[in-house]
Amino acid sequence: MSETSTPGHSLRPTKAQKLSFAGIAALGAAALAFSLVPANAAEQGGTTVALAPVAWTKVVDGAQTKTVQGHLGSQLAIAKTKAVADAKAKAKAEADAKKARDQKAAASRSAIRTPVFANNLDGWIKEALSIMKREGIPGTYAGIHRNIMRESSGNPRAINNWDINAQNGIPSKGLLQVIQPTFAAYHVKGTKFDLYDPVANIVAACNYAADRYGSMDNVNSAY
């Protein structure tokens, strides 16, 4: 059966009906808020607190995410800086170690190249020849050896006390019988300043002979 309106009456809700609807809506919202409160809220303190709106939570989470990302960025930057510093330190340490190894190897090669001469006539002549080569003083093993055997028979402490030099108070001494003034004038730096030292005596005598005769090889008698 269809409904019909009574003449003179409107179908719009009355003021009383509007108030009734508002009350029902309020009760519904309250019920919804209550349903979101944990069941054990009373046991935890008895205070009823409505949950925060989801939209507000999202804003906080976004801010927290930005903060965490900022911290991670800082940590990554620090880690990268440390990695670069560690790499540089490692490279420097390796370079220093290589330099030390190279220097040690060079010193070892130098030690190997430096000959050790015997402490006898053969060794004295060979050592003198190595110095003469460095200083550009001419002379050969044979020429030096020949003159030594004639002058002193290979005795580095030999001294001539009877010739004219001895009579003048400056006797000839050493392997090649050199007088002190000649030794001082032709002494070669790097050898001992000692007329009786065999190597120094040979080098100074050969230096003098090179200046006076061209080479000790050209000397065949007293000089």
Is the same domain home to 102 and 127? no
Is the same domain home to 94 and 177? no
For the chain, what is the mean pLDDT? 79
The pLDDT, as a whole number, for residue 166 is 94
pLDDT in tens, 104-155: 888 777 666 778 999 999 999 999 999 999 999 999 999 999 999 999 999 9
Q: Is residue 205 part of a domain?
A: yes
The pLDDT, as a whole number, for residue 37 is 46
Q: Is residue 53's pLDDT more than 60?
A: no
Q: Is residue 38 part of a domain?
A: no
Q: Is residue 160 part of a domain?
A: yes
Q: Which two tokens stand for residue 74?
A: 């800082």
Mean pLDDT to the nearest integer, 70-79: 73
Confidence of residue 222 (pLDDT cuts 50, 70, 90): confident
State the CATH number of the domain containing residue 185. 1.10.530.10
The pLDDT, as a whole number, for residue 184 is 97
Q: Is residue 76 part of a domain?
A: yes
d(CA 178, CA 195): 8
* Domain's final residue, options 76, 93, 114: 114
Is the same domain home to 126 and 206? yes
Q: Is residue 48 part of a domain?
A: no
What is the four-CA torsion angle of 129, 143, 178, 168, rounded to 10 degrees?
A: -170
Is the same domain home to 101 and 126? no
Mean pLDDT to the nearest integer, 182-194: 96
Is the same domain home to 106 and 151? no
Is the same domain home to 170 and 204? yes
* Domain's final residue, options 85, 114, 143: 114
The pLDDT, as a whole number, for residue 173 is 97
The pLDDT, as a whole number, for residue 15 is 56
Domain count, the chain: 2
Is the same domain home to 205 and 126? yes
Between 31 and 183, where is the model more confident? 183
Q: Which domain covers residue 149, as residue numbers?
A: 121-218
Q: Is residue 149 part of a domain?
A: yes
The pLDDT, as a whole number, for residue 81 is 85
